[in-house]
A and B are shown apart, each in its own frame.
Chain A
Amino acid sequence: MSTKESVRDHVINVIHELFDHPKEQLKGEVRLYEDLDIDSIDAVDMVVKLKEITGKKITPSDFKDVRTLDDVVNSVHKLLVDGESAA
């Protein structure tokens, strides 16, 4: 069972690695577009990285309504939990 906290660590690592934002800045309520300057092309790369880590199929449309870092964590967590309950 993946905990939300481990998902959060993954997400923070990915954003830090891809976009060089200091980890202290990557709080839950931080907004991807406005605060972190992550655009749609960046989002695609982020999805690729998250896919590698989680081993789940993630499509950019899973992130359609994502605004903040918390939203990303919740979406990825939900995908993982749904995947486990289906398996």
Chain B
Amino acid sequence: MPKLPALRTLNYYWRVLATGLSFAIFCVGGILLAALSLYVLITHKNRADRSLFMRKWLSRIFRVYLRLLRNLGLITFEILHKERIKPRGQLVIANHPSLLDVCFIISLIEESDCIVKEALFHWPLTAAPVRAANYIANEFNGLIERCLASLQTGASLIIFPEGTRSPPGQLHPFHRGASNIALMSGKNITPIVISCHPQTLLKHQRWYEIASSPPHYVICIMPDIELGQIIDPSQLQSRSARVLNAYLMDYFAKAINNPQLP
């Protein structure tokens, strides 16, 4: 069948082109988003109103962007157990295999707060959006208190406990912040397990180094982890945080290698 490789090649070049296009859209979209955020920063003086408005918009914008990527044939995805997501007030933790993870999660939640890399507060295109949405910089002094306050307002809080993108097929050790926040807020944890095959947009990869087939994302929202089942309340927090953190790492290590998720 001589035609098939040719077709495959054609499809491959289309996807390189479309990948470039999607990055272009991402950049133009980013500029528009930055403009929108600046507008929001200027017009909405009340910080709470402003972040609520911005977070809702980010959720919509990411939903549209992901559908666009799918319609361009660049990615495929399935979202499992969407019913486990509440519009607000959840403590969500996820593994972090790709750049799009945060887009997926924010797109699912109506009002989400998120711990993001400090640098995003300084990069030109991201500074205005993360500030308008009042997201939390990971190097913020008093990070834990800030996260607790955010949960108290009723927003959902998204944390990637690895603190950076996962190594392919594996996990970095989890920081204990998410565990401590769960313990201090008394919130159960909603884990989201993300898989992406073949892997794409890795840290060392160039934008045009795309896989031979479009990456398929599975976003699986897992049942809540009930703290009471894991933690002995008579223990001090520092010890409980270690127990919970070890539990979470083990949980995710099993989940990312298990295609049959509950």
Contact = CB atoms under 8 A, between A and B. Distances in A.
Interface string A20-44: 1000000000000000001101101
Interface stretch (B32-40, B112-120, B208-216, B234-242): B234-242
B242 A41 contact: no
Nearest to B240: A45
Q: Is the interface of B mostly helix, strand, loop or mixed?
A: helix
A18 B238 CA distance: 7
B172 interface: no
- Chain A, interface size category, equals 10 to 19
B144 interface: yes
A39 B241 CA distance: 11
- Chain B, interface size category, equals under 10
B176 A48 contact: no
Contacts of B180: 41
A72 interface: no
Nearest to B241: A41
A41 B144 contact: yes
Interface in A2-60: 18-20, 38-39, 41-42, 44-46, 48-49
A26 to B, nearest CB: 16
Contact of B237 (A19, A38, A45, A49): A45
Contacts of A46: 238
B236 A19 contact: no
A20 to B, nearest CB: 8
The CB with the most chain B CB atoms within 10 A, among A20, A38, A45, A49, is that of A45
B176 A19 contact: no
B236 A48 contact: yes
B86 to A, nearest CB: 27
B132 to A, nearest CB: 29
Contacts of B176: 39, 41
13 contacts: A19-B238, A19-B242, A20-B239, A20-B242, A38-B238, A41-B144, A41-B176, A41-B241, A45-B236, A45-B237, A46-B238, A48-B236, A49-B236
